[in-house]
Amino acid sequence: MLTRIGFIGLGIMGRPMARNLLQAGFEVMVHSRTRSRMEDLVAAGARPGESPREVAAASEVVITMVPDTPDVQSVMLGPAGVIEGAHDRLIAIDMSTISPSVTQQIAAALAERGIRALDAPVSGGETGAIAGTLTIMVGGAAEVFTECQPVLAAMGRRVTYIGPSGHGQIAKMCNQVVGVLTLEAVAEGLVLAAKAGVDVPRVIEALSAGSADSWNLRHQGPRMLARDFKAGFFVHLQQKDLRLVMELANGLQVPLPGTALVQQLLGSVEAAGGRALGVQALVQALERLASTTVGGR
Amino acid sequence: MLTRIGFIGLGIMGRPMARNLLQAGFEVMVHSRTRSRMEDLVAAGARPGESPREVAAASEVVITMVPDTPDVQSVMLGPAGVIEGAHDRLIAIDMSTISPSVTQQIAAALAERGIRALDAPVSGGETGAIAGTLTIMVGGAAEVFTECQPVLAAMGRRVTYIGPSGHGQIAKMCNQVVGVLTLEAVAEGLVLAAKAGVDVPRVIEALSAGSADSWNLRHQGPRMLARDFKAGFFVHLQQKDLRLVMELANGLQVPLPGTALVQQLLGSVEAAGGRALGVQALVQALERLASTTVGGR
Amino acid sequence: MLTRIGFIGLGIMGRPMARNLLQAGFEVMVHSRTRSRMEDLVAAGARPGESPREVAAASEVVITMVPDTPDVQSVMLGPAGVIEGAHDRLIAIDMSTISPSVTQQIAAALAERGIRALDAPVSGGETGAIAGTLTIMVGGAAEVFTECQPVLAAMGRRVTYIGPSGHGQIAKMCNQVVGVLTLEAVAEGLVLAAKAGVDVPRVIEALSAGSADSWNLRHQGPRMLARDFKAGFFVHLQQKDLRLVMELANGLQVPLPGTALVQQLLGSVEAAGGRALGVQALVQALERLASTTVGGR
Amino acid sequence: MLTRIGFIGLGIMGRPMARNLLQAGFEVMVHSRTRSRMEDLVAAGARPGESPREVAAASEVVITMVPDTPDVQSVMLGPAGVIEGAHDRLIAIDMSTISPSVTQQIAAALAERGIRALDAPVSGGETGAIAGTLTIMVGGAAEVFTECQPVLAAMGRRVTYIGPSGHGQIAKMCNQVVGVLTLEAVAEGLVLAAKAGVDVPRVIEALSAGSADSWNLRHQGPRMLARDFKAGFFVHLQQKDLRLVMELANGLQVPLPGTALVQQLLGSVEAAGGRALGVQALVQALERLASTTVGGR
């Protein structure tokens, strides 16, 4: 039974995830380059770690939740990295969203030092992180996944084992493709409804009862209407993920014409100064093309 | 309380809808240009009508469920049409999917003869028509809607009043935009998953637990995987609807770049001989671009 | 040798075309529903005709240059139409841009009355019409084309026989596809150049020397830069033509994803009030997406 | 007057370019990692260089023509690189197509050692390299450009000074955007023409006389028709360039929806095994969507 968990990366997602581990009864050691971010977790019972190495040395499972591919490389394999704290029982779980192929390279490097690794990226945003209801997609050895399930269950509601190393990240890439195009679906439908002059909330209600239903329709549709562009998930992080998606798809020679289009439309949101808005701001690109506005006062 | 219902148009959708009215206890008179289509409904208790005029004259509510805009024009306003059976209490409900602007013209023409009209297009396909679980989007006068609710409730589970005449059809257009782009979302995600070599059913399972979830992901994703291209909703009817969508959007000057793309990709399915497949065959266009196949034996 | 020419439709294109026929020495009878449009041509030596029928009866060749498909149907086959002025030697040349399939139907109807027909749509805009340098794409019987060549040569510089009835119109549809996507090419390239801060006129100069060269780059690129959106060819006429293109492509099951995209972007120009601008205003849709402006003072 | 030229990178493009310098009377020292590639140039009068450093030390102008960004970095700044052969009069001209921002970094690094640099990417392919008719777009200091003009003129017909360091590369990115979308224009037009059954060579002839004309229409159109997919410019190099384009556009927040679409369609050509075909194979993606073939036997 795993009890000692290390958590590295205490941003918007990482902090509530670490807190949920604490509340589930795990012994947690945290680490962040930004010292102040550790304070309230330490106040809540976590121990502070000086470096990824120290966290790894003191833990059975070390979890990383950092922004991008180079950050994971550095935390795992860099100076004073997790790899330097290697010991027999250590499992490293990267929950960041990063390149599937680099994920496999990192896992291989860790394996040489006896560290078993999982990739376990999440979906669900800050809300899901706080509520402990994240969707978690896991790649790595099946038996390592089984061993870690209680740990992951403390942070997410639906934890799915996908396959060997990197497959969690690939599932996450697919999640981003499906999610962003479904969001485009909602945005195009609502702009049409609005400019046609129909009652948009009733359209959302009617559509969500049938085959056009989606999480995005029910959750992002009303936000678009209410001009609520506060970020659950930032435009610029979505774009980072779409760059990873396109790199993967390009390497596999999988044309994704719809996803490529949405990537450009989100670029329009960035061009208009909306990098730090939530992804539902995608509707603004279509509003700009249509010289109209969905909802609003 | 409305009891005598006329039903005109006994195709794949119309027959089970008329049957559900019979089973709900309404007195039903049916009419179809193809006489043989009336037989089993007559055997089940419906009366046969010689013409739309006769059906209208004998009914309080006359429902039309026919393929396209000119069919509704002809049944409603043509020789021996509904308009010729006009009487004081008559309500005409068109449940076909047709042009919103022509819908308004027909309603105006019917109004001149004292016939009140609703447009009430449906979503849910043959399955929904049989099960009586259609989504119904209604346009017309609110008090006429209220009066007809028991009738509509016999055919659909979620019946939503959208607004004045034509607004039911506009909501249906929005439904087609959102539905078809959500389907594209699923198709692109699954082709990427398949070519990346991950376990696709697990990807569907994981994604349907989070923000990428949709009716299409849960229902059409598995069909794409199982190579089940049997039509719930035909490609060629989807294309007919998308032409109506584009005509509406064009008139309103609403650019729909994603919908326009999917329309072209569905055109590729038609070009390959797939007109009579279900819309989930959209995935075949992406498979063709990627030189791959999702699922299969 | 054909000498008596009738000309029906005296708009922006038709008037200079009729004038060029006069100047080439043909006897010309003109007709327009708007009487005042005939005045200066009559002053220049043309005879006025009361109706298409009268024009046809008095001519060896009757040319139509009207806005859209129904206009050609009406002028050719309607009351007091060309068909009523049928005689042994009559040739009808439609130079409007209309539906290829309706063109074939009209030609068949005319043939029943012994009238030989050509479709001869043009490219080159008002400038080309005035200068007599239009590009003319001709469909119909080869021997009729040969007989009419001196007439067409009075209006255009490059006159190409494409094939049987309707093939001139199909070539024109292809012309619109290639032209509008080439325009998109220029617009995307210049927006990128402008936002990157390079010297755009030099970029145009450099690119026009190599494999990226096009008529649009050399002619429309500088107009985009100079913010000269005066219409050589109206956005709304381009959109009319693209609807014909899409109707043709849809019937033939030819997916045109790029053309469909440009159609939506031009819709954005219309939405912003630019229907009466020239097609080079396409760049404004991309500028709107990029929150930037190419050129300007 | 510059007379001693070093040339590094003797691939399909580099060899004929170096040969043209020799034929123009320059003293040329060549270098390639693949020794055998130097042989015929040495036989023709060039001197062999052991390393970029040696070439730089012996030359007034050192030219690089290598595949990608890291290659230029390594040749210029790596061990035994150009920078190690720095001397007072040295000018470094990179004629490869690489990242504009890395170009500026390299130029800055070279400047610290007193080396003046130009970026001078080319358009025109192997044919243009052999014929000495390349289009050359130049970035860097204007006076360095002026000094190098006789050298560049030996390799290209149209040499355009664009602006400061990196601007040659940016112009090249714009060239790729315009070129590839113009190619898409031709591909869509020809697939429509072919499936409509018109005489495609006549359509090309007619269109090239008017506003739809382009280099691609006249040169790549006939190749598409003749099924001549031999590479003037490889699909995989075009894709490399489009990745640079998208990286630039993404950084500048310039949405390029058309270019993004073509990138995906070229991905389809790669997926079908066409990496080493010429870019005109783009038409194959559209043929696949339309289940048809342009031209052929």
d(CA A84, CA B243): 62
Q: What is the distance between the alpha carbons of residues D33 and D47, in angstroms, rounded to a whole number?
A: 15
Please name the amino acid found at residue A15. R
Beta bridge partners of A29: A6, A47
In chain D, which residue's Cα lies nearest the Cα of A253?
A: D271
Cβ–Cβ below 8 Å for C271 and A289: yes
pLDDT of D197 reads: 97
Neighboring chain C residues of D180 at a CB cutoff of 8 Å: 185
Q: D271: which chain B residues are within 8 Å (Cβ-Cβ)?
A: 289-292
Please compute the mean of the pLDDT values over residues D24-29 and round it to a whole number: 98
- Per-residue pLDDT, averaged over C31-48, amounts to 95
Q: What is the pLDDT of residue B297?
A: 42
Tens-of-pLDDT digits for all 297 residues of chain A?
899 999 999 999 999 999 999 999 999 999 999 999 999 999 999 999 999 999 999 999 999 999 999 999 999 999 999 999 999 999 999 999 999 999 999 999 999 999 999 999 999 888 899 999 999 999 999 999 999 999 999 999 999 999 999 999 999 999 999 999 999 999 999 999 999 999 999 999 999 999 999 999 999 999 999 999 998 889 999 999 999 999 999 999 999 999 999 999 999 999 999 999 999 999 999 999 999 999 854
Catalogue the E-assigned strands of D11-100.
27-31, 47-48, 61-64, 91-94
Using CB atoms, pick whichever of D257, D261, D271 lies closest to residue B290: D271
Instruction: For residue C275, give the chain B residue with the closest CA.
Output: B253
Give the model's confidence band at C295: pLDDT under 50 very low, under 70 low, under 90 confident, else very high: confident
Contact B214 A182 (CB under 8 A): yes
Name the closest residue on chain C to residue B251, using Cα atoms: C267
Q: What is the pLDDT of residue C172?
A: 98
Could you tell me the CA-to-CA distances from D122 to A175, B176, D150, D171, D181 in Å, in that order?
40, 47, 16, 10, 18
Rg (CA), chain D: 20
Strands (E), chain D: 4-8, 27-31, 47-48, 61-64, 91-94, 116-119, 122-123, 134-140, 156-163
Name the band, by pLDDT with cuts 50, 70 and 90, for residue B125: confident
Give the mean pLDDT of chain D: 96
| The predicted structure's pLDDT at residue C125 | 86
Contacts D291 to B, Cβ<8 Å: 268, 271-273
Alpha-carbon gap: A259 to the closest alpha carbon of chain D (Å): 10
C-alpha–C-alpha distance, residues B257 and C263, integer Å: 9
Average pLDDT over residues D156-166: 97
Structure tokens, A68: 């991008």
pLDDT given at position B1: 83
Q: What phi, psi does C198 have (nearest 5°)? A: -85, 170
Are C253 and B261 in contact (CB < 8 Å)? no
Find the DSSP H helices in C12-124.
Answer: 14-23, 39-43, 52-58, 69-77, 100-112
Q: Which residues of B touch C240 (CB under 8 A)?
A: none
Class of residue D136 by CB neighbours under 10 A (exposed 0-12, middle 13-18, buried 19+): buried
* Those residues with Cβ within 8 angstroms of residue A180's Cβ, 6 or more apart along the chain or in another chain: A238, A242, A259, A262, A263, A266, A279, A282, B185
A273–C292 C-beta distance less than 8 A: no
Beta-carbon contacts of B40 under 8 Å, excluding residues fewer than 6 positions away, are: B15
Residues B254, C263: C-beta atoms closer than 8 Å: no
Per-residue pLDDT, B296 = 56
Q: What is the mean pLDDT of residues C287-295?
A: 95
- The answer to whether the CB atoms of B289 and D288 lie below 8 A apart is yes
* Nearest CA-CA partner of B202 in A99, B194, A259: B194
| Residue D160 bridge partners (DSSP) | D137
Structure tokens given for B119: 């447009």
Domains in chain A: boundaries: 4-165, 171-290
DSSP string, B165-181: TTHHHHHHHHHHHHHHH
Report yes or no: A78 and A53 within 8 Å, Cβ to Cβ.
no
Q: How confident is the model at residue C1 (pLDDT cuts 50, 70, 90)?
A: confident
When pLDDT is cut at 50, 70 and 90, the band that residue D297 belongs to is very low
pLDDT at D1 over 80: yes
H helix runs in chain B, sequence order: 14-23, 39-43, 52-58, 69-77, 100-112, 125-131, 142-153, 167-196, 200-207, 215-225, 235-252, 257-271, 282-290
At C246-288, the pLDDT tens digits run 999 999 999 999 999 999 999 999 999 999 999 999 999 999 9
| A46 DSSP 8-state letter | P
Residue D296 pLDDT: 57
pLDDT for the residue numbered A297: 42
For residue B265, the chain D residue with the least C-alpha distance is D289
Residues from chain C contacting residue B285 (CB–CB below 8 Å): 255
Kindly identify which residue of chain A lies nearest to residue D251, measuring between CA atoms: A267
pTM of the model: 0.96
Residue C296 pLDDT exceeds 60: no
Q: C101 with C73: CB under 8 angstroms?
A: no
Indicate the pairing of strand A116-119 with strand A91-94.
Answer: parallel
What mean pLDDT comes out for the span D261-274? Answer: 98
The strand pair at D116-119 and D134-140 is best described as antiparallel
Given a cut of 60, is residue C297 above it in pLDDT? no
What is the second-level CATH architecture of the domain D4-165?
3-Layer(aba) Sandwich (3.40)
Q: Which of A255, A267, A271 sits opposite D267 (nearest CB)?
A: A255
What backbone torsions phi and psi does residue A143 show, to the nearest 5 degrees? -70, -30
Architecture of domain B4-164: 3-Layer(aba) Sandwich (3.40)
What average pLDDT does this structure show over C40-50?
A: 97
Using CB atoms, which residue from C255, C260, C264 is nearest to B271? C255
Q: Do A249 and D243 touch (CB under 8 A)?
A: no
pLDDT at D125: 86
Encode pLDDT of C185-240 as tens digits. 999 999 999 999 999 999 999 999 999 999 999 999 999 999 999 988 999 999 99
Share of residues in chain C with pLDDT > 90 (%): 96
Question: Of C158, C252, C257, which is closest to D209 when you measure between CB atoms?
Answer: C158
Q: How close is the nearest chain C Cα to the Cα of D39, in Å?
A: 31
| pLDDT at res. B146 | 98
CATH class for the region spanning D171-290: mainly alpha
A174:B207 CB<8 A:
yes
Chain C hits for B263, CB-CB cut-off 8 Å, are 260
Closest-CA residue of B relative to D195 is B271
Instruction: Determine the Cα–Cα distance for residues C203 and A31; give it in Å rounded to an integer.
Output: 51
Of the candidates B257, B261, B291, the beta carbon closest to that of D271 is on B291
Q: Which of A257, A261, A289 sits opposite C268 (nearest CB)?
A: A289
Chains that touch A (3 or more CB pairs under 8 A): B, C, D
Q: With an 8 Å Cβ cutoff, are A253 and D267 in contact?
A: yes
